[in-house]
Amino acid sequence: MLAVAILAAGKGTRMKSALPKVLQTLAGTTLIERVLTSCNQLQAERMLLILGHQAELLEQKLEAYTELEFILQQPQNGTGHAVQQLVNALKDFQGELLVLNGDVPLLRPETVKNLVEQHRSNNASVTLLSTRITNPKGYGRIFTNKQGQVSQIIEDRDCTVQQLKNTLVNAGVYCFDWNALVNVLPKLSARNDQKELYLTDTIDMLPTAMHIEVDNSEEVVGINTRQQLSQCEELIQKRLREYWMGEGVTFIDSSSCTLSENCQFGRDVTIEPQTHIRGHCQIGHRCLLGPGSFIQNSDLGEEVKVLKSVIIDAKIGNNVAIGPFAHVRPETSVADNCRIGNFVEIKKSVIGQSSNVSHLSYIGDAKIGQEVNIGAGTITANFDGINKHQTYIGDFSRTGANSVLVAPIILGSGVTVGAGSTLTKDVPNGSLAIERSKQITKGNWPRQQKNHS
């Protein structure tokens, strides 16, 4: 039987944040969710999360993880004290307890699984992950005996100058024999620089402590500061870009672009400088994105061009051109072969195939048919101050420049709207609607001469 406990009660003082540390994000995903992901190959019988600082907020953010048992640690008196809180919950439990620090976000599931397997075959009382780091500042140092077993872990701040030279560090990931751990947990004392109960002090009380060295120390970095958060973000971004280059994506200035792990790209996509693709995105073959674009939670078909534009929660068909300076807002869908041009904002609207909204428009709560041309400066006046209303525009219709369509309103198909019209009534199929006063032109209108005297 396997129980997993993730330590996430700490405040993360060094972050200087209103958020608990484990809710900081990397490539848009919280540290704690990353740790949960690293456990997803384990099929553990129990999943426990130790929380304390802003416990309610954390519980709320993780409510989708129904398998989690939340255990409160109040006050937060160290990692050993955190694990002591499990004694009740795991009273009759037999098996291994895998403990992970909630701030070690890059662990691969394979590494964690291997730790449990190795531990089981070694018959040790604890097996932990270690690594060698050239600059080990802040990490607990691992000291081994002649047989290569771990004899002691000493925290960075409790080390002598000599001990600080040791570069073998504790990754904060441990597989314990639960029965053995329960026996020593009550013996922890706070005789250290932080006056806390350290989980690492259980190691020299346990009969056999083994360690598995992780070759790539990047995998077990712990996040204590914003500097470390930023370094980790860079690492993730670099890996993501390199992965997608391997899959046929071109980056013009790769280090200026960011991606999320939930983006999928087709072949021969080009990503121009300063372009950011966030959340869940699906990008079709041969799209050209950027420079200077932001795309979030959106699906783009093939050969879509996006220049200096923002697209959020939208669905875009094939061969669509967007921008420069367009803002496509949530719940919008744009069909194939459309053009969304300069200074156009579209919200919660459907744009039919081969239609154009090319210049200076606001289209909100609208359903626009196929092959429609929305003239420059056309506005759907969708809001009456209290409610939002719908605009419908049928296939093959065209609106003149500077038209205002006051919703709710239905324009049929093949409708023409004269430039400068403010329409408040529905227009039937095949009609011209025009609403403006007649032009008055007066002849012989002498220009006033400026008096320069």
Residue ranges in contact with Ca ion by CB under 5 A: 103, 222, 224
Chosen residue from 79, 127, 293, 421 binding ligand UD1 by CB under 6 A: 79
Hey, which bits of 257-359 come out as E strands?
A: 263-265, 269-271, 276-278, 281-283, 288-289, 294-296, 299-300, 305-306, 310-312, 314-316, 321-322, 327-328, 332-334, 339-342, 345-347, 350-351, 356-359
Q: By C-beta, is 222 or 341 nearer to ligand UD1?
A: 222
Instruction: List phi, psi (to 5°) of 244.
Output: -70, -30
CB atoms within 10 A of CB 192: 16
Q: By C-beta, is 140 or 291 nearer to Ca ion?
A: 140
Per the residue annotation, which of 280, 359, 389, 452 is the catalytic one? 359
Q: Which residue is nearest to ligand UD1 (CB)?
A: 140
Closest distance of CB 322 from ligand UD1, Å: 42
Closest distance of CB 93 from ligand UD1, Å: 19
Q: Where are the alpha helices (DSSP H) in 165-320?
A: 178-184, 226-246
Closest distance of CB 94 from ligand UD1, Å: 24
- Gap between the Cα atoms of 185 and 89, Å rounded: 14
CA distances from 377 to 343, 356, 357, 395, 405 (A): 9, 12, 9, 20, 11
- Residue 218 token pair: 């990047």
Could you say which of ligand UD1, Ca ion, none residue 294 binds, taking C-beta under 5 to 8 angstroms by partner kind?
A: none
Q: By C-beta, is 145 or 194 nearer to ligand UD1?
A: 194
Chosen residue from 93, 174, 178, 198 binding ligand UD1 by CB under 6 A: 198
Considering the rule CB under 6 A, would residue 102 count as an interface residue with ligand UD1?
yes
CA distances from 251 to 12, 19, 247, 326 (A): 36, 34, 12, 22
Q: At 114, which helix (H) or strand (E)? A: helix 109-122
Chosen residue from 78, 105, 290, 412 binding ligand UD1 by CB under 6 A: 78
Considering the rule CB under 6 A, would residue 131 count as an interface residue with ligand UD1?
no
285 is annotated as an active-site residue: no
Could you say which of ligand UD1, Ca ion, none residue 73 binds, taking C-beta under 5 to 8 angstroms by partner kind?
A: ligand UD1
Give the interface with ligand UD1 as residue ranges (CB under 6 A). Answer: 7-10, 22, 50, 73, 76-79, 81-82, 101-104, 139-140, 153, 155, 169-172, 198-200, 222, 224
